[in-house]
Structure 1
Amino acid sequence: MANAGIHAAESNADDASQLEILGYKTQFDRNMSLWENFALGFTYLSPVVGVYTLFAFCLATGGPPMVWSYVLVGIGQFMVCLVFCEVVSQFPIAGGVYPWARRLVGKRWAWMVGWGYAWALFASIAGIAAGCGPYLAQLIGLEPSPHINIGVALGLIAVTTMINVMGTHFLATVAMIGFICELGGALVVGGYLLIFERVQDFSVLFDTFGIGEGAGGYLPAFLAAALGAFFQYYGFEACGDMAEETPNPSRMIPRAMRMTIYIGGGAALFVLFALVLSVPDIGKVIRGEDTDPIMTILTNAFGPLGARMVLVVVMVSFLSCLLSLQAAASRLLFAYARDNMIVFSGPLSRISEGHHVPVVALVVAGVLPAAVVCAGAFVQDVVTTIISFGAIGIYFAFQMIVLAALIARFRGWKPGGAFKMGPIGWVVNIVALAYGVAAIANMVWPRTPDAVWFVNYGMLLTTLIVFTTGLVYMLVGKPYDRSDAPASDAWLISPRYV
């Protein structure tokens, strides 16, 4: 026991020395294990939340073959994940994408990445919290309504803020509980459906049910249904947000990131296949006669009481997902403020003495999404458009990192962390960029010509507003000049800790 304590102390000292080489001092407690760090990424990716939230839309839009979009997107996002693994292994700094962009390209690039990613996280928190309302209403026997959804969302954000403020160890414990419940629930429910409730033959996974028989063909419908997959496969970057709270982060964070894709993505696909094969009448879903196929499946399989028990697991998944999103947002705000890149940097970069977490940053990461949720009582369509920015904003931030890594490679950067891809790094980097650009183009493509213009072009509009506002703020206020923290040095340094 004593030897373990000595080893842990030596490891923390090495991690502190590594961080000091990178230009920062240790402020957090390093008490998040590999599995706890992975659990944070898993619950952020949340296979249950991702699949359950958009299942009806995806099935109605693309029919059963939409499941293959999850496979393709999973492969593409894994390429992005590998690029991130190389970067975080050399720069295991709190805040993830912001400090990575700072070291790979420079201060201005980092400002834009952090700005876009922060607002995408706020929108995602609001969207996930609002999406939980209908499930809780069904769980307690109420008819879902906008007011109930708003009340549930605000309550969840308040709860996750209080849990996050309790410290990294408490957050990690809750994340592990959420991971166990979600993965166990996904395997049990999915396995039961496949064994006892499967009503469709496996060949249905290739049956379009007549979708796309017109002039356009099936491809446009498949690409539209792929939006569900695009919303699913991120969360691995949250592991890097907590790099200063994890021992031996150069090795552990890349492992946790890859595990998030392997296990989280695998669980999502398992649940998705089980649900599709258990839909009693797929034609009704496509025709719009069954608008809630999830509840239809669960009620048929488990009865009203059993369906409610499954909804308890779904609620735990929503709560865990919100916890991870808020933790990621707060660490990004902290990293921004530590480098004096934003207003109120003093309070936002302050770490509490008792629990060693950025309390003010956590509160802000709760208040701003709550404001978006409240606005839904007055301007529903606009708020829906803002919330939809969550996924596209994260994809933009991701691709700015992928492009930054490619720029750094052209400048001579040779990844110096514990995780390196070697010669194939160039190929993976280019493939990841090509995939990301194609994914973004697909997400912003207008598909509802009869809708009001700000809904049809909602993602593109919110993206332009957010990034244009950030660019103006950056050019006028010059926040990037307020700090002498290291920047633009990825290709110049050879870390001594490797």
Structure 2
Amino acid sequence: MAATAPADLRPDPPVPPAAEAGSSLEEFGYRQELHRSLGRYASFAAGFSFISVLTTVFQFFAVGYAFGGPVFFWTWPAVLAGQLLVAACFAELAARYPISGAIYQWSSRLSNLTFGWFAGWIMVIGQVVVVAAAALALQMVMPPIWSGFQILGGDPSPLSPTGAANAAVLGTLLLVLTTWVNVIDNRVMSVINRIGVTAEIIGAVLIVVLLLTHSERSPGITFHTSGAETGLFGALLVGSFTAAYVMIGFDSAGEMSEETRDPLRTAPRTILSALGAAGLLGGLLVLGGLLAAPSLTDGNLAADGMSYVLTSSLGDGLGRVLLADVVVAIVVATLAVQTAACRMLFSMARDGQLPCSGLLSKVNRRTGMPTAPALVVGVLAAALLLLNFSSPDAFLAIGTTCIVMLYLAYSMVTGPLLVRRLRGTYSSRTDALDEAGKPLFSLGRWGLPVNVLALLYGLFMTVNLAWPRAEVYDPAGGHWYFQWFTVLFLSGTVALGAAYRTYRTYKRAASAR
């Protein structure tokens, strides 16, 4: 097993009681406070529901098609390959550091506490933004099911003023529900997650089959562009936003390690299986949508995306039933993302690394859930939804910002891991065993090339997604702050974190005098 955290990670750790069977927390100086009740499928569900192909494909298909045309399909296998490289590195770390707050914990142990803290800080803020973005997805599917869900009236398109405002209303109501579930009990949360993921997988498979059997054209259409002014390469760069947004959050199985039975064996496998399953299903959904769309040129596909395909190709009745399954997926996805953010806050607070750490690290003994983090994440995500009232362009700005922050946080793990490999100070420990007495997951001799490619891919996509393209983020003009929203938000996050770290250091120095 890997070495324990740096000495300053937990300045005065309490003496932990005997760990439960399969728990390795003693070794890291932590008490077993969260209830260890999640099995392998629940662990898989945590990662799959965060990715949530139905939520994200339905939410961002229109964006990818609008800027890339049919050829944007090929960004899907490219992004999947890149993310599998990252996931392979994470799977190796999950087998050695089975601790909540995975990104923060892994980065801290591979580098130092300060660098790891910033990785965790960027990750948790990004997760809060993902919660808000996931909740906004309801607008893509609920009004097409029933016009009564357009509470504020007017145009239901999420890019229209009334649609954007209504998305914020629906999203806020959803956040109230997911926050409540995140407070009740982790077993209740797990049951909802498993049922939701099962329904999502069944629904996704059914949608794929129906779309492919209602094809209007051949797969050769995927080699066509929409005549974007930026050319083929530019179309692919922007078209990759859809795949990039979908295939994040597979690290959630690592986030839930302290609540998972046999985490050394389970977490690495579910990280890879959740991403693999989501990648396959999502790719088929995108392909099916392109093949079954009644028209590729009438503008509906670039405006309403997959919702338009389902209701137009499969009929209103069946289309609405399938859209109802998408609603379930969105609810479960929002719940899963909020849970992951809660575990990150809990992990950092447990180390005394956040304001109000005592409150944020408190676990309800009866429920096995940290209550305060759930409330904090819910309130902050709801506050972000208010941006949707100001302008429809906030939808894409919020969505892209959360992707960039997660990609950057991932690189703050693969980067230090690569440095350790190059220095020869990282040991894959192929002789170590998991709970079943089998060798821990290891990349072996493939570790270095996989790590190099994972880091290069992550940095490239971070720059690609954050690049302030006016035609993407401010198409109507006059809102420069949306064009630069991702850069400004990320800079503000880092600046706020640096200010807090400086204040904390000053306060410690003053108390020591």
Q: Same fold (TM over 0.5)?
A: yes
Correspondence 1:157-168 to 2 at 5 A: 157-168=175-186
Correspondence 1:451-470 to 2 at 5 A: 451=477, 452-470=479-497
CA contact (8 A) 2:53 2:246 kept: yes
CA contact (8 A) 2:19 2:31 kept: no
Residue 407 in structure 1 maps to residue 413 in structure 2:
no
Tell me how far apart the structure 2 counterparts of residues 480 and 115 of structure 1 sit (CA, whole Å): 20
Q: CA deviation at 1:413?
A: 1.2
1:125–1:104 Cα change, 3 Å: same
Q: What residue is the counterpart of 2:132 in the other structure?
A: 126
CA contact (8 A) 1:19 1:25 kept: yes
Q: What stretches of structure 1 move > 6 A for 4+ residues in a row?
A: 479-482
Q: CA deviation at 1:446?
A: 2.6
CA contact (8 A) 2:347 2:361 kept: yes
Tell me how far apart the structure 2 counterparts of residues 124 and 289 of structure 1 sit (CA, whole Å): 24
Q: What residue is the counterpart of 2:344 in the other structure?
A: 332
Q: What residue is the counterpart of 1:492 in the other structure?
A: none
Residue 254 in structure 1 maps to residue 268 in structure 2:
yes
Tell me how far apart the structure 2 counterparts of residues 398 and 96 of structure 1 sit (CA, whole Å): 10
> Which of 66, 75, 83 pairs up with 2:81?
75
Tell me how far apart the structure 1 counterparts of residues 507 and 259 of structure 2 sit (CA, whole Å): 26
1:114–1:460 Cα change, 3 Å: same
Instruction: Give the secondary structure class of the aligned counterpart of 2:364.
Output: coil
Question: Which stretch shifts more, 453-462 or 338-347?
Answer: 453-462
Tell me how far apart the structure 1 counterparts of residues 78 and 387 of structure 2 sit (CA, whole Å): 36
Q: CA deviation at 1:140?
A: 2.4
Q: CA deviation at 1:432?
A: 0.3
Q: Which residue identity is paired with 1:337?
A: A
Residue 177 in structure 1 maps to residue 195 in structure 2:
yes
Q: Highest relative contact order (Cα 8 Å, sep 6+), 1 or 2?
A: 1
CA contact (8 A) 2:33 2:368 kept: yes
Instruction: Spell out, residue by residue over 1:229-288, the C-alpha distance to the aligned partner (whole angstroms, 9 max, x if none).
Output: 110111111111110000111111000100111111111111111111111211223xx7
TM norm structure 1: 0.89
1:338–1:291 Cα change, 3 Å: same
1:464–1:85 Cα change, 3 Å: same
Sequence identity, in percent? Answer: 26
Q: What residue is the counterpart of 1:149 in the other structure?
A: 167
Q: What residue is the counterpart of 2:374 in the other structure?
A: 362
Q: CA deviation at 1:87?
A: 1.2
CA contact (8 A) 1:385 1:462 kept: no
Tell me how far apart the structure 2 counterparts of residues 88 and 386 of structure 1 sit (CA, whole Å): 29
Instruction: Spell out, residue by residue over 1:325-348, the C-alpha distance to the aligned partner (whole angstroms, 9 max, x if none).
Output: 010000001001100001111111
Tell me how far apart the structure 2 counterparts of residues 284 and 481 of structure 1 sit (CA, whole Å): 63
CA contact (8 A) 1:352 1:358 kept: yes
Q: What residue is the counterpart of 1:280 in the other structure?
A: 294
Tell me how far apart the structure 2 counterparts of residues 34 and 469 of structure 1 sit (CA, whole Å): 38
Instruction: Give the secondary structure class of the aligned counterpart of 1:415.
Output: coil
TM norm structure 2: 0.86
Q: What residue is the counterpart of 2:255 in the other structure?
A: 241
Residue 96 in structure 1 maps to residue 102 in structure 2:
yes
Question: Which stretch shifts more, 343-352 or 141-150?
Answer: 141-150
Tell me how far apart the structure 2 counterparts of residues 293 and 325 of structure 1 sit (CA, whole Å): 23
Q: CA deviation at 1:14?
A: 3.7
Residue 315 in structure 1 maps to residue 337 in structure 2:
no
Q: Which residue identity is paired with 1:220?
A: G
Give 5+ residue unaligned stretches, structure 2.
Answer: 1-17, 151-155, 157-161, 433-439
Q: Please provide the CA RMSD for this pair.
A: 2.1
Q: What residue is the counterpart of 1:232 in the other structure?
A: 246
Tell me how far apart the structure 2 counterparts of residues 80 and 134 of structure 1 sit (CA, whole Å): 30
Q: CA deviation at 1:32?
A: 0.3
Tell me how far apart the structure 2 counterparts of residues 470 and 421 of structure 1 sit (CA, whole Å): 34
Q: CA deviation at 1:478?
A: 3.0
Tell me how far apart the structure 2 counterparts of residues 380 and 232 of structure 1 sit (CA, whole Å): 21
Residue 43 in structure 1 maps to residue 57 in structure 2:
no
Question: Which stretch shifts more, 312-321 or 50-59?
Answer: 50-59
Tell me how far apart the structure 2 counterparts of residues 80 and 280 of structure 1 sit (CA, whole Å): 37
1:175–1:254 Cα change, 3 Å: same
Q: How many residues align?
A: 465
Tell me how far apart the structure 2 counterparts of residues 163 and 295 of structure 1 sit (CA, whole Å): 28
Q: Which residue identity is paired with 2:112?
A: G
> Which of 11, 20, 28 pairs up with 1:13?
20
> Which of 463, 473, 480 pairs up with 2:500?
473
Q: What residue is the counterpart of 2:58 in the other structure?
A: 52
Q: CA deviation at 1:382?
A: 5.9
Instruction: Give the secondary structure class of the aligned counterpart of 1:236.
Output: coil
Question: Which stretch shifts more, 183-192 or 164-173?
Answer: 164-173
Tell me how far apart the structure 2 counterparts of residues 273 and 409 of structure 1 sit (CA, whole Å): 39
> Which of 215, 231, 234 pairs up with 1:217?
231
1:176–1:382 Cα change, 3 Å: closer
Q: CA deviation at 1:69?
A: 0.2
Tell me how far apart the structure 2 counterparts of residues 407 and 13 of structure 1 sit (CA, whole Å): 34
CA contact (8 A) 1:47 1:268 kept: yes
Instruction: Spell out, residue by residue over 1:308-334, the C-alpha distance to the aligned partner (whole angstroms, 9 max, x if none).
Output: 111111100100100100100000010
Q: What residue is the counterpart of 1:352 in the other structure?
A: 364
CA contact (8 A) 2:418 2:448 kept: yes
